[in-house]
Amino acid sequence: MKKLFFIYFLILSFSTVAQQSENSENTEEFVPTNEWQIVKEGQKIPPGLHIRLNLETGLREAKLIDNNEQQSSSNSIIPVPTETTQEEISRHSLEQAFANLDLSKDDVKTDKTHEEEIRKQFRSYEELKKDFESINMKIQTDQEILINLIDQLNKTDNNDNRKTILTDLEYYLHQYDNAILFSDLNGLDLLIDLLNSTNTNAEIRSLVNLVLGAAFQGNPKVQLKALQRGYIQYFLHLLNTETDDNIILRLLFTLSTLLRSFPQAQKNFLKHGGAELMVKILNQTNNKIVVRALTLMNDLIIEKEQVMDNKQEVYKDIHILNQLVDYGWCARISTRLTLFDTDNFDHIEKIIHAMIPFIDICHRDFIHLIPTLDKFHKIYIKNNFDNDSIYMDMLNNIHIILTKLRQRSSDDL
């Protein structure tokens, strides 16, 4: 390859110098010395000098020939001919230079070898065609995928297949447009049928709830369709009759995704006995279920309190707090707090947080909790060695409740 590079630079030097000699002239004669000097464009060079092209600067340089000087081995320069000999380089001499090169050895590979390597690297057109056809079968739009998943779910009665399909659906339905398309394709009804079927096991029913929650969450169009189909009444019925704790937890999750930020659904929830059912759930022995119900009701109450002025009109007829109180929320929440073990920090923190909106309206029931709240306050303040925010939030809430309860107690006297 070095031979080829030499010829390339030889051609480059010749064409550059020839062009310079044609386009410009410099009447000043070059005065050589024993040091390399730059030859100006068009400047005449006396014969018998050592000429080179500096590849770093792109300029020609010349000096007197030193008999003792050895040929430079620098890679940054190459010798170039004088103007007298430049024009002697012709196409014929270049052809001779190429003819003297042995191109069959290290410099290039034979066509046969090259063709063999290409054949190894690339497959035939038919092979590529088959691969592309296979790829095209897998490249589907989300709509095509959803249609296919609905069709598979509708046809299969194998639980392993159902689990796979439902897992895929949960992934796709987190995307806003996919959830709308799924509901337009009546996919929601198919899920409700599975949830209601006596032939569906608990694991499948649990997955169905996750898929429904993915479709409802933050998607008003899907929420509206569920409301129009009467799903809220259906979920309340299931919550009232279900005995599997894991399914109850999943149902509360699904219901929460349908109610949040959707005042029309909240009205429907209250209309069909939702508040009464939530109070009933506080009798559950499973603390996770109790806390899930408490958190949902508390979140909906706070949602109404924090709603923007332009949306207050749609929330004005939603009275979750008052309905909960009417069905005995105050007494139930007081009882639950006394049943929690002090080590169960997370549940105690959530129930205390849920008490704050009810302090005034439930003060007659909460007043009996002052000793319990004092006990919690002492325990957690003792554990709060470094003012950890995990404890500080709850300690602040306990302080707020105790302060208001004691104030109301003194006012009653």
User: For residue 378, what are its two tokens?
Assistant: 């002492």
353 close to 298: Cβ distance less than 8 angstroms = yes
Residue 270 confidence (pLDDT) above 70: yes
Report which of residues 118 and 246 the model is more confident about: 246
- The mean pLDDT of 68-73, rounded to a whole number, is 48
- Per-residue confidence (pLDDT) for residue 7, from 0 to 100: 46
Give the CATH number of domain 139-270.
1.25.10.10
- Per-residue confidence (pLDDT) for residue 61, from 0 to 100: 84
Compute the distance between CA of residue 33 and CA of residue 16 in angstroms, rounded to an integer.
24
The residues facing 77 across adjacent strands are 54
Compute the distance between CA of residue 146 and CA of residue 143 in angstroms, rounded to an integer.
5
Predicted confidence band of residue 134 (pLDDT cuts 50, 70, 90): low
Residue 23: other Cβ atoms inside 10 A:
9
- Identify the top-confidence range among 28-32, 41-45, 313-317: 313-317
Distances (CA, A) of 45 to 10, 20, 23, 40, 58: 19, 13, 17, 10, 18
pLDDT in tens, 292-337: 999 999 999 999 999 977 788 999 999 999 999 999 999 999 999 9
Distances (CA, A) of 197 to 124, 161, 228, 251: 53, 17, 21, 15
Beta strand 77-79 with 59-64 is unpaired
Q: Spell out the domain ranges in the chain.
A: 139-270
72 close to 58: Cβ distance less than 8 angstroms = no
Mean pLDDT of the chain: 82
- Per-residue confidence (pLDDT) for residue 114, from 0 to 100: 46
Nearby residues of 135 by Cβ (< 8 Å), 6 or more positions away = none
pLDDT in tens, 392-407: 889 999 999 999 999 9
Percent of the chain surpassing pLDDT 70: 73
Element (H, E) at 297: helix 287-305
53 close to 78: Cβ distance less than 8 angstroms = yes
Predicted confidence band of residue 57 (pLDDT cuts 50, 70, 90): confident
Instruction: Say if pTM beats, i.e. exceeds, 0.75.
Output: no
Compute the distance between CA of residue 209 and CA of residue 254 in angstroms, rounded to an integer.
6
Strand blocks (E) in 24-162: 26-29, 37-38, 43-44, 49-54, 59-64, 77-79
User: For residue 407, what are its two tokens?
Assistant: 């104030």
- The mean pLDDT of 325-350, rounded to a whole number, is 92
- Per-residue confidence (pLDDT) for residue 17, from 0 to 100: 43
Residue 4 confidence (pLDDT) above 50: no
